[in-house]
Amino acid sequence: MAKGYLWVITAILVPVVLVMTACNSSKSTPTPVPSAAPTSTSSGATPAITPTAVVTPTPAPPDGTPSGAVPPLEAAVEAIYAQVNPSVVNIQVQTSAGQALGSGFVWDKQGHIVTNNHVVDGATRMKVTFADDTIVYATLVGTDVDSDLAVIKVNVADSVLHPVQLADSTKVKVGQLSVAFGNPFGFQGTMTVGFISAVGRSLPVSSTVPGQPGYSIPAVIQTDAAINPGNSGGVLVDDQGRVMGVPSDIISPSGSSSGVGFAIPSVIVRKVVPSLISSGTYIHSYLGISGTSLDPDVDSAMGLPASQRGALVVTVVSGGPSDKAGLHGGNQVVSIFRQQVTVGGDVIISVDNQPVKAFDDLTAYLAVSTDVGQKVNLTILRDGKQMSVTVTLEARPRQ
């Protein structure tokens, strides 16, 4: 059970009509720049006297870069653009409801393009524009709602396809350079630069299955690089031009960049995309619980030490894998800060000997390190006593 955000999390797909309106409304007439008076040198005319400008040498930057040379950061960013931009595409989607624009990137030389599921959801036609202005139509290969990823395919010359390189998103640190590529508001070939501002975020995915809890995308990367409608499905890369994640959502009161953008981590992309290409779908491993993270207030309500951390099991899905393994959900409702909170369930403190300090730790481990049919060993606290429970993971119910 993820905690709510102050602003609504917005998927960053841009309807075409919004792009056209924004472009039209932003037109302005540039102010003319006065030109210098002409200097006549014709016979019989008095030549104008032109002052000689005094040129003051620009001091070398403190980093030792020679005067007039491109600073190292600028040179690095320019190199990143030259490397990555040919891999990023514009995707124009037609649905029964209208048209919209998003982004995507080249996965391989077979013509597979990765994007967000919400970019191509309900598409009846998809048109892909490459950085060199090659334009082709695409077919749908596979989609996964729970990771918000999709794969489409194009048939183009091999020379047009420039596959990306993936970074290891588990190694991403706060403060790293982050560079976003995509088509914000339909402006193709746009690059924005910022930093990684947080890691290990969780993005909720609403459930469409009656009686089933909603899911979350774990290990999500947060960046302050400008991400806007139209960036969905593009790439967030590191200082080597390697893909750390796929921009998919922003938090904003206005619907545009507020410096809080989210990217689906490459560790999930690397796992989901090959399955979408081979089978058109991806099957997530499933524990069959919903829960929340312990904090001192919940600890107090359960008679646990205030420093105890872990994932509190709130509900256990009837007939699910955790139910079969005997895991217990909450049995008491208390009021904490005027909110009704269910407590009393098992507290998961480790999974396969990996510490679980918050519920997101559990979901991240399941997403990255497990498969359907795998057995996982949970170390839990039940009524304050530590014990172990083995759960055989099943296939997550389809959204």
Residue 5's pLDDT is: 36
Q: Summarize the confidence of residues 18-46 as an average pLDDT.
A: 36
Catalytic residue among 87, 232, 257, 266: 232
Residue 99, classed as helix, strand or coil, is strand
Q: Write out the two tokens for 199.
A: 């890691």
How sure is the predictor about 24, in pLDDT bands with cuts at 50, 70 and 90?
very low
Contact of 243 with 127, CB cutoff 8 Å: no
- Spatial distance between the Cα atoms of 211 and 217, rounded to a whole number of angstroms: 20
Catalytic residue among 87, 103, 112, 148: 148
Residue 40's pLDDT is: 34
- Spatial distance between the Cα atoms of 262 and 179, rounded to a whole number of angstroms: 13
Q: Hey, how many other C-beta atoms are within 10 angstroms of the C-beta on 207? A: 16
Assigned superfamily of 285-395? PDZ domain (2.30.42.10)
- Spatial distance between the Cα atoms of 165 and 173, rounded to a whole number of angstroms: 18
Residue 253's pLDDT is: 81
Give the model confidence (pLDDT) of 251-276 as tens digits.
Answer: 888 888 888 999 999 999 999 999 99
Q: Which residue has the tokens 């893909």?
A: 243
Domain with CATH 2.30.42.10 in the chain: 285-395
148 is known as an active-site residue? yes
Give the model confidence (pLDDT) of 286-309 as tens digits.
Answer: 999 999 999 999 999 999 999 999
Q: Is the pLDDT of residue 212 over 60?
A: no
Assigned superfamily of 164-267? Trypsin-like serine proteases (2.40.10.10)
Q: Summarize the confidence of residues 146-167 as an average pLDDT.
A: 97
- For 179, how many CA atoms within 13 A lie in the half-sphere containing its CB? 24
Residue 31's pLDDT is: 38
Domain with CATH 2.40.10.10 in the chain: 164-267
Q: Is the pLDDT of residue 19 over 80?
A: no
Q: What is the mean pLDDT of the chain?
A: 86
pTM: 0.82
> H or E element: which one contains 307?
none
How sure is the predictor about 173, in pLDDT bands with cuts at 50, 70 and 90?
very high
Q: Summarize the confidence of residues 144-154 as an average pLDDT.
A: 97
Q: For 26-35, 148-157, 161-170, 178-187, which range has the lowest pLDDT when averaged over its residues?
A: 26-35
Catalytic residue among 103, 112, 118, 290: 118
CA distances from 326 to 322, 323, 369 (A): 6, 5, 23
